[in-house]
A and B are shown apart, each in its own frame.
Chain A
């Protein structure tokens, strides 16, 4: 299943962090660290989990690759395909819908020229719709990396997009750092 020709390898700082995380669980239960480690692995791999990266995580945690694949494919925060540098996740569940989430999605679509699930041709932005982000009092809400942006309007979306374009925003950063 190897797609990346190069076998990934974390630097010593990341490996230390992972070693610390594994220590939070009882001896022999290092598989418990899988979700935290996959968050780190995704950040270290341009925002997605390639088969090669998942195999590497399996080796780090001394578990079978299938144990990583079945988990990575279950949780919605893990991307199993390449994504843009900045992944924009727009909440679309009831409370956000009541406050105009559809307009926010439509505005992102028209500004970026892509539909949810797609990435801009220059690889800078991926647009996703997601389910409830637990910030319904400040709907509509989006998430970019670990950041929440709340009480959105189309004007705020314009401001954010201009800012992200100017700073060449990257949403996948090791969330522990």
Chain B
């Protein structure tokens, strides 16, 4: 069995209650850190653990913390990104609902390391019921002396609050999230300056994903070396993979990074194979934004090596033959799936979610959706396929935030790997599925 860092005890009834969490060893990492580690030592532990941002970008967390402006006399903030909205991704939802204290303990640890006095959990508005679970857990943490003034007599004080969004994928982009937390439209900011220098209310701020924060208690309890010993290469530790689509066992799995993709899809411990004994056609391995790969390339790299669930192995081959680990939103499609129609749902999503600031994204996402509607509806031409590729190229890299790239990559990769299916739609003047 793989090491469980995040989903350990997740099935224990009542884990969301303070007493149950505490009896299972909860808040011991916080006690240990406050008694034995200085904030800098804790930051060093996180650096040495090699844990990377689990929201999708995979940026080393310790390094991100290291950028925070310590010269500034302004207050510092830690904000948890719980805006989970990337299609195919539902891991944070699960973690927050069933183990809220793990996230809270992680937030206190992170805040202590960064010298933060007020921290926020920004949660997407649709998950209001999860926010209420978190709010209740936060009240329990206050009542037991783990939040508030002078935590456990350490002299360290912290307030932690939840803040709901209101339906906007773009607020998962960290500067849009900060705008939203300030009560504004979720328009991403131009960077630099990065939030570590100018973040929430113009103050130094770190924004970390739920899963990243939730790994901190284990790292403190077991040490950075133990964490770094799990995984492969620069993909240290475990990752939550939320698996969905045409598989026998959709759900949230904690894997040690480096697990072969084939084992993940077919083993009964994980996805349990494709439904109805169908043939695997394609996988979107890291949330809707990452390039789609056909069966042969998700199972093996272009060089014929087994593909592994790790940042490096999934990216092997670049965008020609590889993809990305992303958020761990693992969407599996069997041979009955129309790649064009699936892509159309993604294109509609990005058109809907574009904030509209940058013309290439605002216009490009709309054009891509319209052209895909035309092709799927049987009115497309061969030129439309090239036009899609051309638009994707002009959106990618030409926007303030990565939403443009996220909208372009699925289009470019679907045409790269499944061009004949687009052509078939044009030739038949209808969807062949």
Contact = CB atoms under 8 A, between A and B. Distances in A.
A147 B126 CA distance: 9
A148 interface: yes
Q: How large is the interface on B (under 10, 10 to 19, 20 to 34, 35 or more residues)?
A: 35 or more
A95 B165 CA distance: 22
Interface stretch (A8-16, A112-120, A133-141, A157-165): A133-141
A78 B166 contact: yes
A35 B125 contact: yes
Contact of A93 (B93, B125, B127, B346): B346
B185 A70 contact: yes
Interface string B166-182: 11110000000000111
Interface stretch (B79-87, B394-402, B419-427): B79-87
A77 B166 CA distance: 5
A146 B128 contact: yes
A5 interface: no
A134 B127 contact: yes
In this complex, the member of A24, A70, A71, A134 whose beta carbon has the largest number of chain B beta carbons within 10 angstroms is A134
B252 A137 contact: yes
A132 B85 contact: yes
B349 A134 contact: no
B144 interface: no
Given A38-B166, A93-B87, A75 B242 contact: no
B353 A131 contact: yes
B85 A74 contact: no
Interface string A29-65: 1011111101100000000000000000000010100
Contacts of B345: 92-94, 97
Interface in B179-199: 180-186
Given A24-B163, A75-B166, A132 B129 contact: no
Contact of A32 (B125, B182, B349): B182
Interface of B is mostly: mixed
B204 interface: no
A135 B90 contact: yes
B349 A93 contact: yes
Nearest to B332: A98
Contact of A94 (B87, B93, B159): B87
A143 B129 CA distance: 11
> Could you say which of B125, B132, B168, B201 has the most chain A C-beta atoms within 10 Å of its C-beta?
B125
Interface string B84-115: 11111110110000000000000000000000
B331 A95 contact: yes
Interface string A161-177: 00000000000000110
Contacts of A31: 182-184
Given A26-B118, A74-B168, A136 B329 contact: yes
A42 B64 CA distance: 38
Interface in B62-79: 75
A76 interface: yes
Nearest to B161: A24
Contact of B331 (A63, A94, A146): A94
Query: Which residue, A34, A38, A97, has most C-beta atoms of chain B within 10 A?
Result: A97
27 contacts: A26-B201, A35-B125, A35-B180, A36-B163, A71-B183, A71-B184, A74-B168, A75-B125, A76-B166, A76-B167, A78-B166, A78-B167, A94-B284, A94-B349, A98-B244, A98-B331, A98-B342, A99-B244, A132-B88, A132-B169, A134-B93, A136-B242, A136-B244, A136-B250, A137-B244, A139-B244, A176-B132
Kindly list the 3 A-B residue pairs having the minimum CB-CB distance in the complex, ordered from nearest.
A75-B166, A76-B167, A34-B183
